[in-house]
Amino acid sequence: MDDLKVPLLKPLDNNNKDIRIRTVKFKIGDIECASCATTIESVLGKLDGVKNATVSPIQGQAAVNYIPELINVSEV
């Protein structure tokens, strides 16, 4: 988890009231336990614009439901 240096999601300044929820999946390496997955879900879930996040240690990925008007998805 220490390899993650660039944020996956960054806030946008947008007051658009047309709210849509989208889902994006990210590959995450070196997740070794459910505790790591829970920590990542907790951090992502605290970001403005993120509705929820689900991390699978077995698949090595995170699925993030977000509001594109509030948060921007960036590639690492």
Of 3-7, 16-20, 39-43, 56-60, the range with the lowest mean pLDDT is 3-7
Q: Is 25 contained in some domain?
A: yes
Q: Is 28 contained in some domain?
A: yes
Q: Is 3 contained in some domain?
A: no
Supply the range of the domain harboring residue 25.
9-73
Q: Is 2 contained in some domain?
A: no
Q: How confident is the model at residue 29 (pLDDT cuts 50, 70, 90)?
A: confident
Residues 74 and 9: beta-carbon distance below 8 Å: yes
Q: Is 1 contained in some domain?
A: no
Would you say residue 32 has pLDDT above 60?
yes
> Model-level pTM?
0.69
Q: How many structural domains are present in the chain?
A: 1
Which CATH number does the domain housing residue 54 bear? Answer: 3.30.70.100
Q: Is 40 contained in some domain?
A: yes
DSSP 24: E
Q: Is 51 contained in some domain?
A: yes
Q: How confident is the model at residue 47 (pLDDT cuts 50, 70, 90)?
A: very high
Torsion of CA 43, 38, 76, 23, to 10 degrees: -90
